[in-house]
């Protein structure tokens, strides 16, 4: 998804609470909010490892497509259904 930040975005970040990649993505979201204000909304979902595995399976079954091939923590998606991916993909998208 090519972004121009002319519209608004709702970013969902989900991952294992102890994962450094999760926290790097959360910090990036915080910076996007500082820079773009109300154009950026977010929801951060934190899980313990066993909860994460259940959440990811449920997300994959509900969303299908690219979500189905996602592995590991975290996962980022935009506006409820647009798959971005993990840390590297999200940082590339955001920058």
Q: Which of 77, 73, 81, 87 is nearest to 25 (CA)?
A: 87
CB 79 within 8 A of CB 85: no
pTM equals: 0.92
pLDDT of residue 90: 97
Domains present along the chain, CATH in parentheses: 9-94 (3.40.30.10)
51 Cβ neighbours under 8 A, 6+ residues apart = none
For the segment 22-71, what is each residue's pLDDT rounded down to a tens digit? 999 999 999 999 999 999 999 999 999 999 999 999 999 999 999 999 99
For the segment 3-33, what is each residue's pLDDT rounded down to a tens digit? 566 789 999 999 999 999 999 999 999 999 9
């Amino acid at each position: 998804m090519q972004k121009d930040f002319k519209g608004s975005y709702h970013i969902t970040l989900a991952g294992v609470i102890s994962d450094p990649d999760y926290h790097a993505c959360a910090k990036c979201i915080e910076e996007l909010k500082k820079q773009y204000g109300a154009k950026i909304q977010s929801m951060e979902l934190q899980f313990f490892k066993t909860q994460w595995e259940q959440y990811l399976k449920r997300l994959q079954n509900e969303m299908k497509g690219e979500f189905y091939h996602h592995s590991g923590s975290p996962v980022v998606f935009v506006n409820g259904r647009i798959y971005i991916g993990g840390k590297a993909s999200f940082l590339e998208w955001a920058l």
